[in-house]
Amino acid sequence: MVVYSRDELKQFEMSQRWSDTDHPGLRYFIGDVRDLSRLTRAMEGVDTVVHAAALKQVVAAEYNPFEFIQTNVIGANNVVTAALQAGVRRVIALSTDKAAAPVNLYGATKLCSDKIFVAANNIRGSRDVRFSVVRYGNVLGSRGSVIPYFLKRRNTGVLPITHPDMTRFNILLDEGVEMVLWALTHGDGGEVFVPKIPSYRIMDVARAIGPDCEYPVVGIRPGEKVHEEMITSSDSHNTVDLGAYFAILSGAGRDVAAYAERTGARFVEPGFAYNSGTNDTFLSIEQIRKLVQMHVEAQAEG
């Protein structure tokens, strides 16, 4: 197993818990997805790649667009090239709901990345390699997200709200990992897999974390949406329901009917869209509070 990233501090912290001495099959490589030669070297002898490297802050992307393009787009293409050269057999790329009908630069770069990985299946030739994408919403308590920000600010008595009607999809880290493993096992290549997950209202998050706080409305930041989408209505004719997940099958030459028949999937209704504001399932204030206590505060204390 190779851990490849440019964050030497995280790698050091990981090595304190999982050392390569105790785990001789584990290696830590410092490198960047922008560096094709280093990336190719890191993939030597590797069967499976999970591509999670990205620049992700929406506001930073609006200010530094080409930096995001170099990592999220050119870096994605480097991952495909390196995987083909190194003989990798399975590649899963992590995406985001912001890649669906993007209104910000970050989402646009991730949409480009999704297209690169889907299209990579067209150039694999006789190689036994499959490229698929998993797209999901906000990971509960992830770095830079709203929940750690609210937890940090709640003692001030003020939790700023960008828009009182804002909603987001929510997924737990373990659920995201489980989805990646499922996609590695079941993916044919060329799918964009989307999980069925609940939404939350930003006002409910604020009330769950700081029930006695004030909630001044400060306005939407550059590039933000009020609601997020993971499947647009334009994708409905290429989308099937697999049970726990949807699959968008937009690759060139894909026989969607044959895929549905083989997997037992059913087509979604024409015009179907998967939107955080019209989702069937929303977390309650109490559910949010319990999830934060279990998965964010408990981990921080540990």
| Residue 302 scores a pLDDT above 60 | no
15 lies in some domain: no
Whole-number pLDDT of residue 237: 92
3-state secondary structure of 271: coil
User: Residue 258 belongs to a domain with what CATH number?
Assistant: 3.40.50.720
> In which band, very low, low, confident or very high, does the pLDDT at 296 lie, cut at 50, 70 and 90?
confident
| Residue 301 scores a pLDDT above 80 | no
Residue numbers annotated as active site? 98
20 lies in some domain: no
| Residue 202 scores a pLDDT above 90 | yes
Q: Which residue has the higher pLDDT, 252 or 22?
A: 22
The predicted model scores a pTM of 0.94
Q: How does DSSP assign 63-119, residue by residue?
A: HSHHHHIIIIIIHHHHHHHHHHHHT--EEEEEEEGGGSS--SHHHHHHHHHHHHHHH
The per-residue pLDDT for range 85-136, each reduced to its tens digit, is 999 999 999 999 999 999 999 999 999 999 999 999 999 999 999 999 999 9
10 lies in some domain: no
66 lies in some domain: yes
Residues of the domain holding 242? 31-301
Whole-number pLDDT of residue 300: 60
The per-residue pLDDT for range 29-81, each reduced to its tens digit, is 999 999 999 999 999 999 999 999 999 999 999 999 999 999 999 999 999 99
217 lies in some domain: yes
b/e map of 207-223 (b: 16 or more CB within 10 Å)?
bbbbeebeeeeeeeeeb
Number of domains in the chain: 1
What are the residues whose beta carbons fall under 8 Å from the beta carbon of 287, sequence distance 6 or more? none
> In which band, very low, low, confident or very high, does the pLDDT at 22 lie, cut at 50, 70 and 90?
very high
